[in-house]
Amino acid sequence: MRRTSYKLTLPAVAAAAMLMFPGALPASASSTSAGSAAAAGAALTLTGGSCEGLARRFLCSVAFSGAVAPVSVRWFVDGSHVPAYDNRTFVGIGCQPTFRYDIRAVISDGTGASVEYRSNPVCRSGNP
């Protein structure tokens, strides 16, 4: 059986509490939580990504902000989905020296928004 865990941010918890129990928070807490919930509603944005070539391996990472839970990260190598890399922001991808690869990461959030990172590195040979 596979366990799935989710990280909830304080603004998301406060927003959920406000929706479920609108009278439970004092007025000052409601305005603070509403401001935080508005800040959390920022659009999903790709803030960084890289694929560094080592000998026979790429070390790839992606960074994003403004995502609304649940968030998924899906990795593709030469057009094929690689489920073993899913929901990771940092992966090590093996490769054949001198070949060019198409590496893509698609980040999606609970609102249906998605962003993509794409790279086309050439695999290096040699010792790591």
**Per-residue pLDDT tens digits for 58-83:** 999 999 999 999 999 999 999 999 99
Higher pLDDT, 11 or 126: 126
Of the pLDDT bands very low, low, confident and very high (cuts 50, 70, 90), residue 7 is very low
pTM of the model: 0.67
Residue 33 is given by DSSP the state H
C-alpha closest to that of 49 among 123, 119, 108: 119
Share of the chain above pLDDT 90, in %: 64
Token reading at 35: 């401001």
CA-CA distance, 41 to 106, in Å (whole number)?
A: 20
According to the model, what pLDDT value does residue 128 have? 61
